[in-house]
Amino acid sequence: LKNQNPVISKPRYVRVNTLKMDVESAIQEIGKTNKVTKDDMVPDMLVLPSGVDLHDHPLVKNGSMFLQGKASSMVAVALSPKPGWKVLDGCAAPGNKTIHLAALMKGKGNIIACELHKERVKVLEDTIRRSGATNVDIVHGDFLDIDPKDPLFAKVRAILLDPSCSGSGISAKRLDHLLPSYSKGHDVDTATSQRVKKLAAFQRKALAHALSCRNSCRCRENIMSFLGHYAVPDVERLVYSTCSIYQTENEDVIKSVLPLARSLNFELATPFPQWPRRGLPVFEGSELVLRTDPTEDMEGFFIALFVRKKSTNSSGK
């Protein structure tokens, strides 16, 4: 018995889309058939008893509520964009975090949602349509090709980077469709480690690009960057997140960009300081980043928040 996992009943989470419905009305409606409480950490997140299935609920179908997990919902909250800001979502589809950003911004300001794959752009469009968000512009293209000198990206104040990852923090059952080779008897360890290394290479590149164009060589001058080009106080906050449990995709990626980030006046900040699970102790400051546990918290996410230090030549806008 000692080695067996106890059957722990996990709550269900649902995020109220405040672009369409207020939280109290949602509680009233859902409370007619289920016990429902508010989450104590993530705003607009409702907690329901284990086993409740809301997939076919009319409020889910009409986009008033989204079946987004708590850990996943912590990402946009960590970025905390203000209404009226311009925000760039670098790897956006299917768009759960894009529309969460839109709700946090109360539909005011502008979100640029970038997505590489055409098929996934359609899913992104559908998510945005269902959410009722009207302040999202989709860019179908490679985030690495985004040129911060393009007027479209002028005045971006916050960047959310949730790049493709191994998905190792999400239950294997839900990822079955993404991992066909594993179920055909391939060597899981070798395949996983090769795939993770490839993903981490992209993640490092994408995060470095979000911080600065210097290494991507797509800018005319080395100095041009999201941070440098637009000068203080434009890009102020940047969140990097994955749904992976691997150090390679998480702490190692952050550690590799820290010198660049520091050179651009960025420092790691602490999203959700009250949350106990922090980064693996593999670099100084790893306690600032956040992890969620795939078993305890239902999804294994990683969140790092960079905040640009106020500069003396800041106009303070």
Residues that are catalytic:
243
Q: Cα(174)–Cα(124) distance, rounded to whole angstroms?
A: 20
* Smallest distance, ligand SAM to C-beta of residue 51, A: 25
Q: Pick from 242, 246, 240: which is nearest to 194 by CA?
A: 246
Q: Cα(136)–Cα(10) distance, rounded to whole angstroms?
A: 34
Q: Cα(275)–Cα(282) distance, rounded to whole angstroms?
A: 19
Nearer to ligand SAM, 30 or 91 (CB): 91
| From 125, 126, 142, 147, residue interacting with ligand SAM (rule: CB under 6 A) | 142
* Smallest distance, ligand SAM to C-beta of residue 145, A: 8
- Based on its alpha-carbon atoms, the radius of gyration of the chain, rounded to whole angstroms, reads 20
First vs last Cα of the chain: how many Å apart? 60
Contact indicator for 59, 41 with CB cutoff of 8 Å: no
Compose the 43-82 pattern: x for residues touching ligand SAM by CB under 6 A, - for all others. Answer: ----------------------------------------
* Smallest distance, ligand SAM to C-beta of residue 154, A: 20
Q: Does 117 bind ligand SAM (CB under 6 A)?
A: yes
- Residue span binding ligand SAM (CB under 6 A) among the ranges 23-31, 157-165, 169-177, 296-304: 157-165
| From 97, 204, 209, 308, residue interacting with ligand SAM (rule: CB under 6 A) | 97
Tell me the C-alpha to C-alpha distance, in Å, between residue 189 and each of 40, 87, 195, 287. Answer: 38, 38, 10, 28
**Which residue type sits at 70?**
K
Nearer to ligand SAM, 112 or 289 (CB): 112
- Residue span binding ligand SAM (CB under 6 A) among the ranges 87-95, 172-180, 254-262, 263-271: 87-95
* Smallest distance, ligand SAM to C-beta of residue 290, A: 16
Report 254-273 residues binding ligand SAM (CB under 6 A): none
Q: Does 144 bind ligand SAM (CB under 6 A)?
A: yes
Nearer to ligand SAM, 36 or 304 (CB): 304
Q: Which residue has the tokens 């409480």?
A: 37
Q: Pick from 293, 288, 292: which is nearest to 305 by CA?
A: 288
Q: Pick from 90, 107, 261, 217: which is nearest to 161 by CA?
A: 90
Q: Does 163 bind ligand SAM (CB under 6 A)?
A: yes
Q: Which residue is nearest to ligand SAM (CB)?
A: 91
Report 221-240 residues binding ligand SAM (CB under 6 A): none
Helix (H, G, I), strand (E, B) or coil at 290: strand
* Smallest distance, ligand SAM to C-beta of residue 142, A: 4
Residue 268: enclosing H or E segment and its boundaries? strand 266-269
Q: Does 115 bind ligand SAM (CB under 6 A)?
A: yes
| From 77, 116, 268, 290, residue interacting with ligand SAM (rule: CB under 6 A) | 116
Q: Cα(33)–Cα(30) distance, rounded to whole angstroms?
A: 6
Q: Pick from 72, 14, 17, 18: which is nearest to 48 by CA?
A: 14
Task: List residues near ligand SAM by CB under 6 A.
Answer: 91-97, 114-117, 120, 142-144, 162-165
